[in-house]
């Protein structure tokens, strides 16, 4: 029995890592940051995740909101 180490994630390299999103990547961001955004579900285990324009917008909005909320609740 041979162990197969086929990297199925390879062909998706240029596709948005967000679940159920098949748009080409526009930006790549740190996975940690994306994990903090509950409205974004990303696949894969790499440190960097690729996001399409739409998903990046969501990400940016969410992180912005987060920061604004932080300084808001003093």
Q: By CB under 5 A, is residue 29 in contact with Zn ion?
A: no
Binding-site residue total for Zn ion (CB under 5 A)? 6
Q: Which two tokens stand for residue 48?
A: 């960097």
64 CB-near residues (< 8 Å, 6+ apart): none
Q: By CB under 5 A, is residue 49 in contact with Zn ion?
A: no
Nearer to Zn ion, 18 or 29 (CB): 18
Q: By CB under 5 A, is residue 21 in contact with Zn ion?
A: yes
H/E stretch holding 28 reads strand 27-30
Q: Interface with Zn ion by CB under 5 A: which residues?
A: 16, 18, 21, 23, 52, 55
């Amino acid at each position: 029995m041979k162990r197969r180490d086929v990297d199925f994630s390879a062909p998706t390299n240029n596709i948005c890592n967000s679940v159920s999103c098949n748009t080409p990547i526009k930006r790549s961001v740190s996975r940690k940051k994306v994990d903090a955004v509950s409205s974004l579900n990303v696949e894969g285990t790499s440190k960097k995740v690729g996001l399409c324009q739409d998903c990046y917008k969501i990400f940016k909005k969410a992180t912005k909101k987060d920061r604004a909320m932080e300084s808001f609740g003093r």
